[in-house]
Amino acid sequence: LRRGPFMEMALSRGLRCCQRVFSWIPVLIITAVVLWSYYAYVFELCLSVYLLVFHVCFGMFSWTYWKSIFTPPATPCKKFQLSYSDKQRYEMEERPDAQKQILVEIAKKLPIFTRTQSGAIRFCDRCQVLKPDRSHHCSVCETCVLKMDHHCPWVNNCVGFSNYKFFLLFLAYSMLYCVFITATVLQYFLKFWVGDLPNGPAKFHILFLMFVALMFFVSLMFLFSYHCWLVAKNRSTLEAFSAPVFASGPDRNGFSLGLHKNLLQVFGEDRKLWFIPVFTSQGNGHYFPLRSQSSESHNPLLANEDMWDESDDGSEGSLGKFSFLFITQICSRNFFFKFFFSLHNHFH
């Protein structure tokens, strides 16, 4: 039997709905493990001497996980979308070379320096936008994401410009949480091992707390070390596997400005806020200074600000206004955490 367009559309929507529902399963698994660890430590073991420090670790761990989940991915602004006239020209032109030339003309007004492997301007046919440097289209989120690092199913979100700092803090506080549990439960685990621990439900919780904490710590240690290396090199996971292409050719270190400036791009200049999950990253995610241009301005992230002043109409506003609105919306959202299985997703 032939299926009509309406049935195919309904089936497609149904599949997408199921996909959205199932995408929350990894998050629910991690949440269940964390809640169990809280119950086991606080109510079963009742290690009152350590409860204050435990709740600090648990609170920061939970806060960063929440932020990682519920911070929406940052997407390209309207300046990178084709205007109505440009879109008409692009769609009516059948010659690929002519289409590329149209994109080149539009890109001259924007701070775009990266290219495709063939040297063309990077353009997303699905979102109908010129891709800002370091942005990529996520097939799961169905949108282009600024400075996309990877899509992580364990937070059910894209890790990118808007939440990369929170993701790093999540990994750090996850490791701290695991280390604290391991260190404080170790003495009771040793008593259990030699048979000196009284029989009771606490024996089960001690055994599995040690096992789970150690398992996650080892996995998180490798993942966190890898991302520390990426931050030091000013690369995303995608850029580590495929070097960004510039007019002069591929360059893995094209965005690296030195260790100090690379750290500032992710964590911001206020060091008091480095370890707090609030948005402090430099810039707006659309432009990143190049290694060869790092000396052009006192604040390299604003070296190309004049390129944003050109607007097709008066509704766009300046870079300062856009940055303020962008950061305000990012800071008004919350998000939560991620675990070692995300290491697998760095290779996709």
Tokens encoding 247 = 């007019």
Active site residue 17: no
Amino acid identity, position 91 = E
Reduced to 3 DSSP states, what percent helix, strand and coil does the chain have, rounded to the nearest 5?
55, 5, 35
Alpha-carbon distance of 227 to 232, in angstroms, equals: 8
Contact 133, 291 (CB under 8 A): no
Q: Give the separation between CA 290 and CA 312, rounded to whole angstroms.
A: 27
Alpha-carbon span 125 to 196, nearest angstrom: 66
Among 45, 317, 314, residue whose Cα is nearest residue 188:
45
Q: Give the Cα separation of 21 and 140 in Å (integer).
A: 13
Which of 77, 138, 144, 152 is catalytic? The answer is 152
**Category of 81 on φ-ψ map: left (φ > 0), alpha (ψ -120 to 50) or beta:** beta
Catalytic residues: 152
